[in-house]
Amino acid sequence: MLVIKGFRIVARRHRTTLGEIDLIARRGRLVAIVEVKARRSLEEAMEAVGPLAMCRIEAAADLWLARQPDRDRLSLRFDLVAVLPRRWPVHVAAFFVSGG
């Protein structure tokens, strides 16, 4: 789905000392840090990513970003992909905003 929207998947299940990022996708200078949740509904998927998870994802993204040679030119966005039964996955762009 992200590929259809012009993104290139640069990492899957990227592990850091601070946590794991499900997907890292890039389109030009935009980097989407994507949390993937399989739930019965979009609402359940959205509720499954709480404040603690958001902090963990953001910290892991900061570590990934620090290792990128072009980090000063990149823009991060935190997205959600909800995998729902008998439906296409739902992509929620800018699901949450960085706290710092």
The predicted model scores a pTM of 0.93
Structural contact between residues 69 and 88, judged by C-beta atoms closer than 8 angstroms: no
pLDDT higher than threshold 70 for residue 100: no
Each residue's pLDDT tens digit, 30-54: 999 999 999 999 999 999 999 999 9
Q: Which pLDDT value is given to residue 98?
A: 82
Q: How confident is residue 1, by pLDDT bands cut at 50, 70 and 90?
A: confident
Report the pLDDT averaged over residues 2-18.
Answer: 95
**What CATH number is given for 8-96 in this structure?**
3.40.1350.10
Q: Token pair of 59, please? A: 């910290």
Mean pLDDT of the chain: 95
Domain limits, the chain: 8-96
Q: Token pair of 37, please? A: 């949740």
